[in-house]
Chains A and B, each alone.
Chain A
Amino acid sequence: ETHLVDSGGRQVKPGGSLTLSCVSTGVYFSNYSLNWVRQAPGKGLEWVSSISFRNNDVFYADSVKGRFTISRDNAKRSMYLQMNDLRPEDTAVYFCTRDWASVTPGEYIYYGMDVWGRGTTVTVSS
């Protein structure tokens, strides 16, 4: 059974930077697209960013575009989120997640996010 372990969250001042990490305990890490999803205190889930398995295409929510950078290192079974110019509204628990999908030549069938990390807390406050 695969687990995702997310880490790196801490308190940081507005305008500061932080890098979150997500390590997978499972094999075949390189076969999966991955995501960061966040949840502000008392609020709902918000998709932040995704990185594909196939060619490392990256995608960002408008709220973080230009400030956050997602990356992965398949050899280390790890994914990262570099966060710059942090704002108070970035305060949240950040979850790394794995896409469950069936991939065959010419077809990609998505089934949802089947594995979630426990979350790491980022607090942006002076």
Chain B
Amino acid sequence: SYELTQPPSVSVSPGQTARITCSGDALPKQYAYWYQQKPGQAPTLVAYRDTKRPSGIPERFSGSSSGTTVTLTISGVQPEDEAAYYCQSADITSSYVVFGGGTKLTVL
């Protein structure tokens, strides 16, 4: 089955830049979507179609894509950005939804 691979954890100090990657063989052909999940809460969409940002999401969140890897970049990380981040895409053969394993962002 198709898999999306994320690093389990990323740590940065406040004000620094955090980069969270997501790798998958189909990513050159399928868009990626990013969700933020804080403890005890439902996820929130923070980026879509690789590089777009939904209304209401701070400009410090941005997405990029290169080959089989997509990246969520958080510039000038704030303490409130500490959360788990999940990428989502689709299996190219079935079109079924696939989530990455998630990355825990720790703000030191």
Residues on A facing B (Cβ under 8 Å): 35, 37, 44-47, 50, 59, 61-62, 95, 100, 110-114, 116-119
Contacts and interface: CB of A to CB of B under 8 A. Distances in A.
Contacts of A113: 33, 35, 43, 45, 88
Contact of A47 (B35, B44, B48, B97): B97
| Nearest 3 Cβ contacts at the A-B interface | A47-B97, A116-B42, A112-B33
Interface SS of chain B: helix, strand, loop or mixed? strand
A47 B100 CA distance: 11
A interface majority secondary structure: strand
Interface string B35-77: 1010001111100110010100000000000000000000000
Contacts of B44: 116
A111 B50 CA distance: 10
A44 B97 contact: no
